[in-house]
A and B are shown apart, each in its own frame.
Chain A
């Protein structure tokens, strides 16, 4: 396989291709939308054309297949360096500099893996304006993949913002009842963080240009040559922190999340939870921590962030427990899970960081699967309230089995993917942060409590609603959609080695950079003091 991929010079074109392919798809669907005749029912309601979803499915499957080659060609030993560099704005030193490491690799594969499934998940739920919907999904994909492959700060920022608009429209046009409020809140929250990050990026750029006399947004150039005082570093870290902490979301910046996740259509929730939340943690790994290690590792700040992470774990779990709305329950559980990621990253041991990376992947798969399952039930019954169900395991056994399996993986049952990540985070973090880690461990118990309780009320109690006696079980399309997710849950649970192996050198490298530079800054400062 590797030989074949090398023979077609796969590594030279794959990263730009990942960005171009979805755009081509979006253009294709838009052109079809312009040319296709508008069909209308007798009473004047537009009939949605089925073509766009097939086109989107084709492009997303093609994207997944193409991206899969990275699994073989990626060499874990290769440092983070540009793979491709195309000119863009020479006057400002901005270019299309693309490159990945093991962490970005897994995030890219997670994205391309989930996207075809989101099309299947929207198959019957999205009935209006399908051309626009699928074109937006494709544009969104370019933005998300762009964030993971960009090694140029301006390009990264542009891609970071590109994600925002399609998601705004997806929530606002195809979402639930409070979609307008939720979409605006999502947009404004994200924008506050990202605009302050923009100021920080420009500041870094000018400071690097002042040192080297060469204006460049290149990631490596800025990491190595930007110079600033301790106070400036604090403010700059603050700007990056805010942007990423809102996206993660960390407690107390999480309030946009329940609204957006609940009001978004199924595919929107899956993408938000599965992929977009990881942008925040990815931002910490790629930018905030390597740029400002001295600030990030400052005992007070580190302690504060770890504390917020643990508060998020417990708070998310407790709030999830009392939600009557299953979708909201899953939304709050995300706050809890992402707390584990932040705990693992800032504890900064090899195991905890690898665990955090695993949680990022697992949460994408398990929470994505949960949102898909809720979406399927919502299409049947138009209710997300747990109390509207009850005892439906007898009526829809397939659904019940899958929901149970996915919920168990989300809880972190050994043998499923969820166990690997959270276990690694906890044993890794315990070595440096024993007290906080012990508290965080209770989060796992709470997770079991809220999910099992919800399962019991939804699937197993008495079947007391007559309307529920005729629910249809999952159809072949829905089973097809769940199959890859279940396979991933079990594969990552019993055999995570290949994934961990690909991320390990990158994780090691990340820890080394942060520790080394934090130490260097400390030495420098103590040297200046006398």
Chain B
């Protein structure tokens, strides 16, 4: 049954969270602009934004609890994948805003609107997670990107911030152009913008080898590869991550990447299941190159934000492994990994915010030497985040199970991706080289006399660090609840994929129950 948005109940289920978020953000925007900029106002608006994020998350939970079986084949998807992705994205948003409140106060950024911009970006992300129409995908990406362009330029006094923002804007526009052109070509080949109908049309008309369609898919792939920062489309990421205000960097590294991955997944799984066989080789190659290049280049980094930027590129490679499996387990692994990755990345950047002083002089890895002697809990938390990114059990908690899940998905695929799994673990060993370097300087090097002072961490940032570390460790000991949650996310996409494929042997199709 098609989604009927004129029925208020269905409307509430399908778009409730988005409407709450967007409507709330508009009101907050007016309130933010009402009063002159100032530290207290910035803080009040930030906390209101946190409350709105929590409300939206509650609405998502409510939507999950409603029966969704009848709500298929609209322009917005109403399924587990969307809701779980939304929860992960809202988690990242909440953590970002909490950090940003403290960060802005410290750096003397009085613009209260910046928090609302984060919310608007998140509204774009939620749209991306829900979009089942190329137009909506484009709208989501644009809404998200424009907010993030502005956010990365937020610190007007910093030259680095301005440079990063300009780079991000130019390359982002470039990527969007690829996406848009790809969408246009796909539309030209199939005459549809609805993702599910595109898939059906390709089967119907036997377009799988149509050059127009293939070119369109290639352009889409490039566009998405830019957005998730996969090698060789990653060049913008380190500069932008280094220049942007730290909370915004965390937001870009974790949430923006997650949203792009979810949209990428839905487009690929629902629109091009038949073309998937053709493109799997390309995605595997992207994954391999991304894992190797991300990890190897990260080894050479001495700036901690750049180091985390390359680490996030490497993680895009691991995520692409889950993507390349094209199975239910792969989708579950992707969602699980995004959750673990969001926690660890947010936590690591929160430590940078907590240890920083105005002007962020603590950018070199060496500036964290001897942190253990000064602020033992901060050092211990950073160790947890590094271990989680490394994928180490117990000390890195959930990070281990995230990698575990991806390896498992790769080995369980109909044609097991054993080589990819081995490359994943080998590159993980490489990554130990730089994650442990951070741990090493904190615990094993004495604090140099000329090291920049360690700032007093404020309580919201502290709360972010404690919450992420505790969640990482707790779920790392007992991941069962998350596994149950990841399971509701996966089948929806695969079911739809199966409905639009002709027979077994094509991409996501054969794995549907």
A interface residues with partner B (beta carbon < 8 Å) = 88-92, 157-158, 161-162, 165, 168-169, 172-173, 179-180, 183-184, 187-188, 191-192, 195-196, 198-199, 202-203, 205-206
Contact = CB atoms under 8 A, between A and B. Distances in A.
A173 B428 contact: no
B208 interface: no
Given A91-B483, A187-B436, A188-B432, A173 B392 contact: no
Interface in B407-424: 407-408, 411-412, 418, 421-422
A184 B429 CA distance: 11
B422 A188 contact: no
A91 B336 CA distance: 14
A206 B410 CA distance: 11
Given A191-B429, A199-B425, A172 B443 contact: yes
B27 to A, nearest CB: 42
Interface in B386-441: 387, 392-395, 400, 404, 407-408, 411-412, 418, 421-422, 425-426, 428-429, 432-433, 436, 440
B interface majority secondary structure? helix
A202 B421 CA distance: 10
Contacts of B393: 157-158, 161-162
Nearest 5 Cβ contacts at the A-B interface: A195-B425, A158-B393, A91-B483, A172-B444, A161-B393
Contacts of A205: 408
B480 interface: yes
Contact of B408 (A191, A196, A206): A206
A162 B400 CA distance: 12
Contacts of A92: 483
Given A165-B387, A188-B433, A196-B422, A173 B444 contact: yes
A202 B411 contact: yes
A202 B333 CA distance: 14
23 contacts: A90-B480, A91-B484, A92-B483, A157-B393, A161-B393, A161-B400, A169-B443, A172-B443, A173-B444, A180-B444, A180-B445, A183-B444, A184-B433, A187-B432, A188-B429, A188-B432, A198-B425, A199-B421, A202-B408, A203-B418, A205-B408, A206-B408, A206-B411
A201 to B, nearest CB: 10
Chain A CB within 10 Å, residue with most, of B387, B422, B445? B422
Nearest to B390: A191
B479 interface: yes
A421 B115 CA distance: 70
A89 B421 CA distance: 22
Contacts of A88: 478
Contacts of A173: 443-444
Nearest to B408: A202
A173 B370 CA distance: 11
A165 B484 contact: no
B421 A192 contact: no
Given A165-B392, A199-B411, A91 B480 contact: yes
B429 A192 contact: yes
Contacts of A188: 429, 432-433
A132 B428 CA distance: 27
B412 A206 contact: yes
A196 B422 CA distance: 7
A162 B444 CA distance: 20
Contacts of B407: 198-199, 202
Contact of A203 (B392, B411, B426, B444): B411
Contacts of B400: 158, 161
Contacts of B421: 199, 202
A202 B429 contact: no
A89 B408 contact: no
A158 B476 CA distance: 11
A89 B387 contact: no
A88 B443 CA distance: 33
A192 B426 CA distance: 7
Contacts of B433: 184, 188
Contact of B394 (A90, A162, A187): A162
Nearest to A169: B443
Nearest to B391: A195
Contact of B392 (A161, A169, A172, A183): A161
Interface string B433-469: 1001000100111000000000000000000000000
Nearest to B377: A34
A30 to B, nearest CB: 10
Contacts of B392: 161, 165
A158 B425 contact: no
Chain A CB within 10 Å, residue with most, of B392, B428, B479? B392
A272 to B, nearest CB: 18
B446 to A, nearest CB: 11
A184 B440 contact: yes
Nearest to B407: A202
Contacts of A192: 426, 429
Interface string B474-489: 0000111001100000
Contacts of B478: 88-89
B422 A199 contact: yes
A453 to B, nearest CB: 36
Contacts of B394: 158, 161-162, 165
A196 B432 contact: no
A191 B432 contact: yes
A89 B480 contact: yes
Given A88-B478, A92-B483, A202-B404, 5 more contacts: A162-B393, A173-B443, A188-B429, A198-B404, A198-B407
A187 B425 CA distance: 15
Contacts of B479: 89
A195 B426 CA distance: 8
A524 to B, nearest CB: 23
B408 A180 contact: no
A89 B483 contact: yes
Contacts of A199: 407, 411, 418, 421-422, 425
Contacts of A191: 429, 432
Contacts of A89: 478-480, 483
Contacts of A206: 408, 411-412
B408 A179 contact: no
A187 B483 CA distance: 30
Contacts of B428: 195
A184 B484 contact: no
A169 B400 CA distance: 20
A151 B418 CA distance: 26
A46 to B, nearest CB: 9
Nearest to A165: B395
Nearest to B441: A180
A75 B422 CA distance: 42
A203 B408 CA distance: 8
A157 B425 CA distance: 15
Contacts of A196: 422, 425
A184 B444 CA distance: 11
A297 to B, nearest CB: 25
Given A202-B408, A206-B408, A179 B425 contact: no
Contacts of A161: 392-394, 400
A351 B443 CA distance: 47
Nearest to A157: B393
A187 B393 CA distance: 14
A139 to B, nearest CB: 9
Interface in B138-171: none
Contact of A184 (B418, B426, B436, B480): B436
Contacts of B418: 199, 203
A91 B426 CA distance: 27
B510 to A, nearest CB: 16
Given A165-B392, A199-B422, A172 B440 contact: yes
A313 to B, nearest CB: 29
B473 to A, nearest CB: 13
A239 to B, nearest CB: 9
Nearest to A142: B394
A372 B429 CA distance: 33
A192 B429 CA distance: 6
